[in-house]
Structure 1
Amino acid sequence: MPPNSPRDAIRGAATELFARDGYAGTTVRAIAAAAGCDPALVIRHFGSKEALFLATVPASTELARILAGPVESLGRELVGFVLGASESRVAGVYRAMLSASDRPEIKERLRASMHDVFVGPLADRIGGAYPELRARLVAAQFAGLINAYWLVADPVLRNADRSATVELYGDAIQRLLDSDDPP
């Protein structure tokens, strides 16, 4: 399709609206209006609001870069990413996905994305007797900080000294990566 096709306009409008207004706050009519087309065309091209949402959720290239970096500094890098990206498109997309996670297809996409983007690549690099468990625990700590910082916007965390937060929470994550296996 040409670069300015109706499908591309719908995808662009949906990406913007889902990130800004969340899944529940975005309607097919609003997407169609922003794309300058009829709502029936949105459904014709994507089948459903859920399918369009899943088609517009991008993976974070910055997160992939961090996860491919040195394991020895990964904890602090991950925390720095969360603190620095709270107003980014990635944060908006995450909030939209979380708000839609009661839908089975979205929940499955979240699980698959966590494994494909985070757990799988990390587990392949950290070794030990429990690499997947460690990677999933790191992902859980990472997601916990994201929820507190991006979703809840905890005022104490948001106003805390950034370098102290990176050091304290980053080192807590790093312990999962560096510690000896349990007996």
Structure 2
Amino acid sequence: MPPQNLPPRDAIRLAAGELFVRDGYGATTVRAIAAAAGCDPALVIRHFGSKEGLFLATVSVSGDLTRILAGPLESIGRELVRYVLDGADSPVSGVYRALLSASDRPEIKERLRASMHDVFVSPLAERVGGACPELRARLAAAQFAGLINAYWLVGDPVLGGAEHDTVVELYGEAIQSLLSGEDPTPRRG
């Protein structure tokens, strides 16, 4: 139950954020959000227009990524891997799972794309350089998302049981090579 002194809009946002992360998008209803916020379901719709609108207003994936992506370029790959390994039980993993569970909705799929671009690709592409900085940044984002899926969503037992330092070195280097490796040699022919 949200603190009693919150304005209704803030109480709704707080309750929705907790429920979306805990139960996922599909299992969270406007009625459940309203009950947790201590208000009428009509008030939820009046403030946010729809369940999708409320979801988009309350769920964010940026977390500590902004700090990591602004850090030293030569260590970003390893720091991203540490972020995933250390964050399996963090609130951000719940946010990610909630976003993924709702990604079949066009508005939310578009938000995921925009967030990936704004939070991850654009800041990295500006710093990477080389012949194809945006492609490098997008491929690094894809590798990062792949590790999140394997570690946070699927719960791969081999990854979960592996020595963290080994995973950081191996996978961190794979991501890092996209960011700071040599440009590919153009094919002739």
Measured after TM superposition, the shift of residue 153 of structure 1 is 1.0
SS in 2 for 1:142: helix
Which 4+ residue blocks in structure 1 deviate beyond 4 angstroms? Answer: none
Aligned position for 1:164: 166
What letter corresponds to residue 16 of structure 1 in structure 2?
Answer: E
C-alpha root-mean-square deviation of aligned residues, in Å?
Answer: 0.9
For residues 104-138 of structure 1, give each alpha carbon's deviation from its aligned partner in whole angstroms, at most 9, with x where no partner exists.
Answer: 00000000000000000000000000000000000
Show the counterpart of 1:56: 58
- Counterpart CA distance in 2 for 1:55 and 1:171 is 35
Q: Post-superposition shift, 1:96?
A: 0.4
Cα drift, residue 59 of structure 1: 3.8
After superposition, what is the alpha-carbon deviation per residue over 1:51-101, rounded to whole angstroms, capped at 9, x for unaligned? 000000124341100000011011100000000111111110110000100
Q: Normalized against structure 1, the TM-score is what?
A: 0.97
Tell me, in whole angstroms, the C-alpha distance in 1 between the residues paired with 2:106 and 2:79.
32
Instruction: Determine if the alignment matches structure 1 residue 73 to structure 2 residue 75.
Output: yes
Q: How many residues align?
A: 181
Residue 7 of structure 1: how far off its partner (Å): 0.5
The answer for the alignment partner of 2:118 in structure 1 is 116
In structure 2, what residue type is equivalent to 1:123?
Answer: A
Question: What is aligned with 2:181?
Answer: 179
Rounded to whole Å, the distance in 2 between the matches of 1:141 and 1:93 is 19
User: Which of 113, 116, 133 is matched with 1:131 structurally?
Assistant: 133
**CA contact 2:63–2:92 (8 Å) conserved in 1:** no
